[in-house]
Structure 1
Amino acid sequence: MNYTILIVDDDMAINDMLVKYLRKNGYITYSAYSGTEALLFLEKQKVNLIILDLMLPGLSGEQVLAEIKKTKNVPVIGLSAKEDSKSKIFLLKNGADDYVTKPFDIEELLARIETILRRIYENQYTSNSLLCCGDLNLDTIGMEATLKNQKLPLTKNEFAILKMLMEHPQQVFTKDMIYEQLWNEALEGTENAINVHISNLRKKIAAIDNSKSYIKTVWGIGFKMDI
């Protein structure tokens, strides 16, 4: 499962550091630099976890947390330079799942993220190792794909791309996001590699079922599952 994490911190250096580190460790990341930006983003996009700085411009982290918890059941890790126990107790009582004090050890933060995600999602996804989209099935443990009960022969990268799309069927993935997730590095002038993989996937799918596209192009943005 490629978990998605929203990082809400107005400190661009910290935000960028977390993005790079978490992507290197297999996570899909998004950034917001204010509470308002984060709330607007969450109206359109689902995530699996939020890292929320408390000292934000405009809406405070505490206010953002309260707004998130009104409508969403998503785990939140609070970040703050405040070391007093009252701040920690307030956050934990008002919906935060954990609290990390700045400056923090990034490996410790990663361990806390993994613990929360495992606790909340492990049981859900252990029983859901089979991803389905219509007649298209992906066995993420057996590493096999079938379409209309026929085996779909995929390369390692094709399987990884299809898995990413099927795990988040409502989400649009840019070429940059796909490339960084597969190769853990920024996309620099080699977007044709993604086009080739998507094209090959579509050809293999169409050879079995050409009644629908399964992989939809969202023009000017990227790709998503056609459900």
Structure 2
Amino acid sequence: MDSILIIEDDNDVRLMLAEALVDAGYSVNSVYTGTDGIREVKNHPYDLVLLDIMLPYMSGDEVLREMRTFCETPVIIISAKDIVSTKIDFLNLGADDYITKPFDLREVIARVESNIRRSKMRLENKFIHYGHICLDDVSKRVTLMNSELDLTSKEYAILRTLLANPDKVFTKASLYESVWCETYPGNENILKTHISNLRGKMNKISQDDCIETIWGLGYRLKKLSHS
């Protein structure tokens, strides 16, 4: 049974949401303040949080900002503020959805179901395996032959891009633009240096170089041997 935490200081709204969610088959807990909400999220693995903005002691944006320092639990903001800039601010802070009061309980349930479903799909797809390489896309950790690699953010992004497209040959320009998210400057030394460093770290664990240089084209993952 999926579990939901409601952080809402309005007793009537809190009870109404809790009753509707229980009727929909969820396990529900609710708290009155933002500080209690943070304590709950740290101590219990909730599947989703419904978060009000106007809370005593700790505002909704403060709660969300702190939550995003230690967890990726889906958060739906529930607020009477129907202002586009406010919605954008909370989505940029890490909220997954925003519902305006007054709301239809059927819409709340539908959005809860949708966000939990997407969250589970992300968790199912968080690992990428290729040969002896295992990449955890949530914790950003990579292991090779069960030994963890200490990668920089760019080395991780290069490896992840290659792992996500194991049959694709990336030109230097396309690989650079996928990782740096900017136009390729034409200077291949930046990319070559990062790939060389990545190879060096991997070769300390395994001499089987998994990144191939395709001369005149670019890079790709070395095809796995099925022998």
TM-score normalised by the chain length of structure 2: 0.53
In the TM superposition, residue 69 of structure 1 has moved relative to its aligned partner by 0.5
Matched, 1:119 2:118: yes
Structure 2's unaligned 5+ residue stretches are 126-227
Aligned-partner Cα distance in 2 for 1:15–1:60 = 16
Aligned-partner Cα distance in 2 for 1:43–1:94 = 19
In the TM superposition, residue 80 of structure 1 has moved relative to its aligned partner by 0.7
Aligned to 2:21: 22
Aligned to 1:78: 77
Structure 1's unaligned 5+ residue stretches are 127-227
The structure with the larger Rg is 2
Letter in 2 for 1:51: L
* Alignment RMSD: 1.5
Matches within 5 A, 1:52-201: 52-122=51-121
Kindly provide the CA deviation profile for residues 69-110 of structure 1, in whole angstroms up to 9, marking residues without a partner as x.
000010000011111111000000110000001111110111
Aligned-partner Cα distance in 2 for 1:81–1:112 = 17
In the TM superposition, residue 123 of structure 1 has moved relative to its aligned partner by 6.9
Aligned to 1:195: none
Kindly provide the CA deviation profile for residues 187-224 of structure 1, in whole angstroms up to 9, marking residues without a partner as x.
xxxxxxxxxxxxxxxxxxxxxxxxxxxxxxxxxxxxxx
In the TM superposition, residue 57 of structure 1 has moved relative to its aligned partner by 1.1
Aligned-partner Cα distance in 2 for 1:72–1:7 = 16
Give 3-state SS (helix, strand or coil) of 1:70's partner. coil
| Bigger RCO (CA 8 Å, 6+ sep) | 1
Aligned-partner Cα distance in 2 for 1:41–1:114 = 21
Give 3-state SS (helix, strand or coil) of 1:71's partner. coil
Aligned-partner Cα distance in 1 for 2:112–2:60 = 18
Letter in 1 for 2:32: Y
Matched, 1:4 2:16: no
TM-score normalised by the chain length of structure 1: 0.53
Judged with a 3 Å threshold, the aligned counterparts in structure 2 of structure 1 residues 103 and 69 are, in CA distance, closer, same or farther, namely: same
In the TM superposition, residue 42 of structure 1 has moved relative to its aligned partner by 1.7
Judged with a 3 Å threshold, the aligned counterparts in structure 2 of structure 1 residues 123 and 65 are, in CA distance, closer, same or farther, namely: closer
Judged with a 3 Å threshold, the aligned counterparts in structure 2 of structure 1 residues 58 and 124 are, in CA distance, closer, same or farther, namely: closer
In the TM superposition, residue 59 of structure 1 has moved relative to its aligned partner by 0.7
In the TM superposition, residue 26 of structure 1 has moved relative to its aligned partner by 0.5
In the TM superposition, residue 119 of structure 1 has moved relative to its aligned partner by 1.3
Give 3-state SS (helix, strand or coil) of 2:68's partner. helix
Kindly provide the CA deviation profile for residues 14-41 of structure 1, in whole angstroms up to 9, marking residues without a partner as x.
1111111101111000101100111111
Give 3-state SS (helix, strand or coil) of 2:117's partner. helix
Aligned-partner Cα distance in 2 for 1:123–1:91 = 21
Judged with a 3 Å threshold, the aligned counterparts in structure 2 of structure 1 residues 84 and 71 are, in CA distance, closer, same or farther, namely: same
Aligned-partner Cα distance in 2 for 1:61–1:15 = 15
Deviates more, 1:72-81 or 1:35-44: 35-44
In the TM superposition, residue 120 of structure 1 has moved relative to its aligned partner by 1.5
Aligned to 1:47: 46
Matched, 1:38 2:31: no
Kindly provide the CA deviation profile for residues 103-156 of structure 1, in whole angstroms up to 9, marking residues without a partner as x.
111101111111111112147579xxxxxxxxxxxxxxxxxxxxxxxxxxxxxx
Letter in 2 for 1:69: R
Aligned-partner Cα distance in 2 for 1:123–1:70 = 18
